[in-house]
A and B are shown apart, each in its own frame.
Chain A
């Protein structure tokens, strides 16, 4: 139970700092600043990784339920879907597929290669 409150406290502090960063710098939403700050604080050992692990994993496993209300916004777009439904879906599907393919292919090609090179260099030097 103590770890649950500790994790909630850690996440709340990072979110608050994220809101401050958002107010000062704009550009990104507060939650994304909070996410970066949380990762940074864990890296710096300002929050105990051991104490947040279990609760954090539970949060991530169940976060999808928080997205349901946003998804229900579809109700307000019925008229547009009736008018341009096929075109809309075709554009969304094709461009998402293109992005997945481009990023996936380039990452597999260049990141995996650079990873192998790093591994070879490390093995060679040892």
Chain B
């Protein structure tokens, strides 16, 4: 029935479904503000509410994605807006750019290698191994790189979301638990492991957290784009 409504009145369907998505997100955000629990992450709650709703209404993902295109379009300017916390900390960042680059290269090589080897041992499918290796970067880059290396990009999108949610929900607590408390270290770790989702959560803590997270998001994306085209073929040779 809803599919017919979308086909007959695409504009109204877009308005209604986008409003439902925004309302769900805002209600979840209000709940999180009231109860201050990490498990009330607005994105996680929205997905938990909207997935069953779509299944009940027999609406597939393509139809949902089509009707909420305005939110997808808003993602690009929202990422550009992260340039503001980046600007606020430029002076601090200039002091450490060499150390940051070295640390991120080391982390990226380790995470690509570990993810690829684990996936080949447990799932034994090269396309899924490639997809999982590229989950620590922002979605557009992860998908582009996966397709370039003949991986399964739908798995990359799923893995990027899980990694993002994991870092956003548990990352700060885990880092505090292991004694990593500075805004710089937390920002770099969350930005490189959990990209935009982690940054969107971490930026609420302080401008410095947000700035370093944004920097890690950019550096990780650039470095992964440079490292993965030679590292992944090398790893593939290990299993041939």
Contact = CB atoms under 8 A, between A and B. Distances in A.
B78 A107 contact: no
Interface in A18-34: 18, 27-32, 34
A41 to B, nearest CB: 8
A51 B101 CA distance: 32
Interface in B2-30: 21-22, 25-26, 29
A95 B114 contact: yes
Contacts of B103: 103, 106-107, 110-111
A25 to B, nearest CB: 11
B234 interface: no
Interface residues of A, number: 73
Contacts of B75: 31, 63, 66-67, 70
Interface string A24-67: 00011111101111110011000001001100110111011111
A77 B158 contact: yes
Given A68-B71, A104-B186, A14 B175 contact: no
A73 B22 CA distance: 17
Interface string A5-22: 000100110110010000
14 contacts: A15-B77, A35-B79, A60-B78, A67-B197, A68-B43, A75-B55, A87-B122, A95-B115, A97-B174, A98-B110, A99-B110, A99-B136, A105-B185, A107-B182
Interface of A: 8, 11-12, 14-15, 18, 27-32, 34-39, 42-43, 49, 52-53, 56-57, 59-61, 63-77, 80, 84, 87-108, 110-112, 114-115, 118
